[in-house]
A and B are shown apart, each in its own frame.
Chain A
Amino acid sequence: MKPAIVKLILAREVRDQLRDRRTLFVIAVLPILLYPLLGISMYQLSQFMHVRPARVLVVGAERLEVSPPLIEEGRFSTLLFASSGSAKMLELHFPSTETAESERWDRARELVLAGEYEAALYFPADFSARLEAFRASLTSRVGPRPAGRASSPEVPQPELFYIETNEKSVLASQALDSVLQRWTDKIGEENLKAAGMSVRAPHPFAVKKIDVGGKTNRLGSRWAGILPVLMLLWAMTGAFYPAVDLCAGEKERGTLETLLSSPAGRGEIVLGKLLTIMIFSIATAVLNLLSVGATGWVVLSGLTGFGLPSPAALAVLAIALLPMAALFSALCLALAALARSTREGQYYLMPLLLLTLPLVILPMSPGVELNLGTSLIPVTGMSLVLRNTLLGDYLSVLQFAPVVAAVTLAVCMLAIRWAVEQFNRESVLFRESERFDLWIWLQRLFSDRRPTPNVAMTVFACMLILLLSFFLATLGGEPDNFAGLVRSVLTPQLAVFLLPTLLLTLLFTTSPRETLLLKLPAWFTVPAAALLAVVMHPLIVLLGALVEYVYPVSESLLPSLKNIQELINRSHFWPLVILIALAPAVCEELACRGFILSGFRHFKGKWRAIIYSALLFAVAHGFLQQSMLAFFNGLVIGYLAVQTGSILPCMVFHAMHNTLALANGRLTPQLFEQWPILNSFAVPGEQAGCLFTWPVVLGCAIIGALLLILFARHPCVCVRPPEEGLENRILCPADSF
């Protein structure tokens, strides 16, 4: 890696982008003009926007003789509105008094339905008289009501006609509701006065609100919702357009080939381009923030007390922008490298936005706090750190910032690595336009069948498994007896894992034996796999506890999990072993370590295959906590599959692991009391299960490592996919990043 070459590429790319009017527009002109223009436009629009008053028909108004009055001089009394302007927004109309009383109710309803009026208010004929009688009944009785005496006369309800599906009508009804509520309150006060009571009787006190947060907090809370989201979104947008031009554009113009044949290495080219994209990403985010900040400060400061965030918050924003810009730049670069043309590149923006947006917006949801769990989520963790910084909650920021920084850095490195990989792939750099033809694709699936599935078929199988498991999960109910448990376990095992795997293997491969690893392994691998599952159990239990501590199971899920656990504890052990240990060991292993792993070995060697198959294994497991453990187990079982070349050790490991988990669930505190020796190995859980002591965990970890070394030293002698060999042969150290 020569810094001089990187600098040269960077300088060229920056100059090139600065000469591009489109890029300049998005990066500089748009942010400078957008927010002030938006502010001015909103102001201008508000000048032109004329809200028409709602037309309200009031039936029976002429008979209202109630104090305080509801209607004065053809309008609702101004005392019944928070502001005098609001009173003008209700335009009252009164029907002819000649209409017969029996028809007035129907007529009012019809007129609202016909759209003549937004709402209608109907006062029954005896409304005033009965309200007066009610008041009189109150004045004649002061003090507590004696038992057995008749209650106060009922007051008939006025009726409000509106149409729920008509927005104007709903707004008019809400305004009327508020007016009538105030009128009722006023009548109540008058009644209390008439009864000789204090008007404060129904509301003897009011709560005094005191904002104990300082000015920084007040300002911060206003910015906390806007700035992180804006910064992250613009950092991504600012990275995307230059990335498309620098990769897809260069491919389109044909200049990439010349650059690749120059002394600049792929790593240097990627780094030069990445730094360019980062500069533009940062510039876009900063200019947008400055513009929105200035506009907000100038336009809104007088109205709502907006001001600038604290310098410390601004400093954290600036620091956070660097890794986020690097992350988005690397993602955009890798995506843009996939595109054949700038037009195609622009299509990739939407999926990227759809994937990133939830992570950016998640911190805006109420109840999402910065903790260990959320700080481990890329983008979201950073967004929460920024939000808390703006809110002045520096303690939580200091606590979790290292975790967020580590996660961001790791994801950033992965994204950069992906981008470099794209530049090392000929199929990506020289991809030509290929019209997708379903018929040709299907023909090729049959004609190009190989002993093991190809990558496309493997991806299809993954999608099929995930879709089926999703639909079955939504259809399946909670089991309430053993038969229900059998159904709920076996149905997904057969329908999601076993049948699709067997079908795809028979249809699209020429050797089910090689695909599903149906071979006998070296004899020692089977007991070694069983022993590995045993010694890994304490580690898995510890990992499970850790996962549950970081990501506690949601309250909504707990009752259902508790019910299933109780059902399992009530059932006989050995039938459960067959159901929960053996059946998944066979079905899931044939799918994940058989078909999927064999297919992915055509992609990028054995390690990628192990990781991808473990990922599918994890995602196919119900909920997050279970998936995390499944991923870890998937990695180990995948390694066993690759090293032994047989599915048998994988099934043995899987079955043993599940059996031990079942057995652990049955260890109750009472059992520990009965068998005190157990206390020297493990600590009982609150209700069931146990955590192993540290010496046991460490001892098992050492034995587990030795067993893995044993598997590593005795790899199976089997045919490996040609891609694995080719990958090793053509690995070019000179071009490595």
Chain B
Amino acid sequence: MIHVHELTKCFSDFRRGQIVALKGVIFHARPGEIFGLLGPNGAGKTTALRILGTVLRPSGGRVSINGFDVVADSAEVRRQIGFMSANTAVYDRMTGWEMVEYFGRLHGMQRDALAERMEMLFNRLKMNDTRDVLGAKMSTGMKQKVSVARAVVHDPPVLIFDEATSGLDVLVARALLETVAELRSQGKCIVYSTHIMREAEKLCDRIAILHRGSVLAEGTLEEVRRRHGEEDLEELFFQLIMEHDQRSLEEAFCR
């Protein structure tokens, strides 16, 4: 469903010069599974997801979603995905209902079908209280629900969640994770980025640990644990990152 092959992305930064945000990243995600993209801040998770969402263009490598290339068929890719960015960005001067409706219409949904789908979504996500509330007056939880509804309103086969629970309280975060799990059960292919290990353990079927633009480990949770001989995911994560940093330091020193 999602094939990421040798994905590379370079940026130019005033202070740091040329930055390689992603170095030959490879992973695949299948329908009916949640693929977790784990990594500390600055690992390149958001960059990778933005490329999947066709917001950024790759500098090298290939990415295809449902058989469509993110560069050559970007318009088709955007029809296949639901993208929820890291911030709970909503339009300040639109109500929850208007926002979800707007994105449904952008996806070409007919008015009747859209209204029916929205009724169902607003009930299922328990967000009827956001119907007539302007974005500027919504709580963080409300905004997050609207963001989820906006991403899934057109019932896309692929969903991309970028640190969806950051800044949420336990109750809202839990409800959101339940929603994501429910979407998996509907056969969606989900890419979920997070730096919270407990979330990944609880939710993801397969994971990739990303650090400084490189994939350090990839596979099911069991495979990764077995390969690196560490049961605790947080410890494993910490260990991999420390090893990578040590290796980079030694390489830099040798140069």
A: residues with CB less than 8 A from B are 4-5, 8-9, 12, 15-16, 19-20, 253-255, 257-258, 260-265, 426-427, 430, 434, 436-437, 440-441, 444, 447-448, 726, 730, 732, 734-735
Contact = CB atoms under 8 A, between A and B. Distances in A.
Q: Identify whether the interface residues of A are mostly helix, strand, loop, or mixed.
A: helix
Given A262-B107, A440-B15, A12 B102 contact: yes
Given A5-B106, A434-B14, A440-B14, A734 B90 contact: no
Given A255-B91, A440-B14, A426 B78 contact: no
A358 to B, nearest CB: 33
Given A263-B106, A263-B107, A253 B15 contact: no
A427 B13 CA distance: 10
Interface of B: 11-15, 17-18, 50, 53-57, 59, 71-75, 78-79, 81, 83-85, 87, 89-94, 102-103, 105-108, 147, 150
A628 to B, nearest CB: 36
Given A16-B94, A262-B78, A434-B13, A254 B56 contact: no
Given A261-B53, A448-B17, A734-B72, A8 B85 contact: no
B12 A254 contact: no
> Which among B15, B106, B147 has the greatest number of chain A C-beta atoms within 10 A?
B106
B104 to A, nearest CB: 10
B107 A261 contact: no
A444 B89 contact: no
Given A437-B15, A447-B17, A732-B57, A258 B75 contact: no
A255 B107 contact: no
Nearest to A20: B93
A258 B150 contact: yes
B85 A257 contact: yes
Contacts of B57: 426, 730, 732
Contact of B106 (A262, A436, A726, A735): A262
A255 B56 contact: no
Contacts of B150: 258
A264 B89 contact: no
B103 A262 contact: yes
B17 A260 contact: no
A263 B108 contact: yes
Contacts of A16: 91, 93-94
Contacts, number: 92
A735 B93 CA distance: 28
B54 A261 contact: yes
Contact of A257 (B13, B50, B59): B50
A1 to B, nearest CB: 11
> Which among B14, B72, B147 has the greatest number of chain A C-beta atoms within 10 A?
B14
B75 A734 contact: yes
Contacts of A258: 83-85, 89, 103, 147, 150
> Which among A255, A263, A426, A447 has the greatest number of chain B C-beta atoms within 10 A?
A263
A260 B55 contact: yes
B14 A430 contact: no
A68 B2 CA distance: 106
B222 to A, nearest CB: 32
A732 B91 contact: no
B238 to A, nearest CB: 28
> Which among A257, A260, A444 has the greatest number of chain B C-beta atoms within 10 A?
A257
Given A263-B78, A444-B14, A734-B73, 16 more contacts: A16-B93, A253-B92, A257-B83, A257-B85, A258-B83, A260-B53, A261-B53, A261-B54, A261-B78, A261-B83, A262-B78, A262-B106, A263-B79, A437-B15, A730-B57, A734-B75
Given A8-B102, A19-B93, A261-B55, A436 B14 contact: yes
B87 A254 contact: yes
26 contacts: A8-B102, A8-B106, A9-B106, A12-B102, A15-B93, A253-B91, A258-B83, A258-B150, A260-B55, A261-B78, A261-B85, A262-B78, A262-B106, A263-B75, A263-B107, A265-B75, A426-B57, A436-B14, A440-B15, A447-B17, A730-B57, A732-B57, A734-B73, A734-B74, A735-B74, A735-B75
Nearest to B76: A734
A262 B81 CA distance: 8
B108 A426 contact: no
A434 B53 CA distance: 25
A25 to B, nearest CB: 15
Contacts of B87: 254
> Which among A16, A427, A441 has the greatest number of chain B C-beta atoms within 10 A?
A16
B203 to A, nearest CB: 22
Given A8-B106, A434-B15, A254 B75 contact: no
Contacts of A434: 13-15
B15 A732 contact: no
Contacts of A427: 11-12
A444 B14 CA distance: 9
Contacts of B59: 726
Nearest to B147: A258
A242 B110 CA distance: 30
A257 B55 CA distance: 7
Contacts of B102: 8, 12
A427 B14 CA distance: 11
A55 B29 CA distance: 93
Contacts of A441: 14
A444 to B, nearest CB: 6
A12 B11 CA distance: 33
Nearest to A436: B14
B101 to A, nearest CB: 10
